[in-house]
Homo-oligomer: A and B are copies of this chain.
Amino acid sequence: MTTKGNKTRDSILKTTRELYVKKGFQNTSISEVISATGVKKGNLYYHFESKEALGLAVLIDAKTEFLELIPRSFKGKTPIQKIKNSIKTIFEMMEKTNFVGGCLFGNTALEMSDNNPRFSCIIKEVFTNWWGLIEEQLIEAQMLGFLDKTLSTTKIAKLIIASIEGGIMLSRVSKNKNDFEDCMEALEIYLVSYQ
């Protein structure tokens, strides 16, 4: 594909992602995508052969970006600090929009996971990779003596992801960032109490 073609494709993906975050996949029509992106119908179908193909491509693009972001967000001296800063990065992303939209993966998980295995397969990969990255930090924390070695790093990693997604949900409903912050503070006590 030409550079121009790649740019068009990427621009369609990013604009459509915004629509999905606002309205969900099913409620976003192809005509809305055309209107928001400004591309012609023929050009859109040249890049994505169907609404489903576009939806999957948007998710894969967001997944790649997110799984590149997470390792970069692990800033700090200790593994526990790294996890805390990673959560802070996600919090700041959500705070920017005052929790409107929320998490694309969480939204799509609830919207699509019973209807379309192709969508849920990508979301599953996001969650599995994400907790894998967190678990690496937890394992390092155990090796360095920052976390009790008898605890299951897999289970704690899953709890971290679940409480981030659930915390975003609470703050989306209340439009009050404190709900997510409160959850994360309670989680932090858990993480640091085993040092």
Binding site for B on A (CB under 8 A): 22, 24, 26-27, 100-102, 106-107, 109-111, 113-114, 120, 123-124, 127, 151-152, 154-156, 158-159, 161-167, 169-170, 172-175, 179-180, 182-183, 185-187, 189-190, 193
Contacts and interface: CB of A to CB of B under 8 A. Distances in A.
Contacts of A187: 159
A59 to B, nearest CB: 12
Nearest to A172: B113
Given A161-B166, A163-B163, 9 more contacts: A22-B114, A109-B172, A114-B172, A124-B174, A158-B170, A159-B182, A162-B163, A163-B183, A190-B190
A127 B22 CA distance: 22
A27 B110 CA distance: 13
Contact of A189 (B106, B151, B173, B182): B151
Given A26-B27, A106-B110, A114-B101, A155 B185 contact: yes
A158 B186 contact: yes
Contact of A110 (B161, B172, B189): B172
B173 A169 contact: no
Which of the listed residues A101, A124, A169 has the most CB atoms from chain B within 10 Å of its own CB? A169
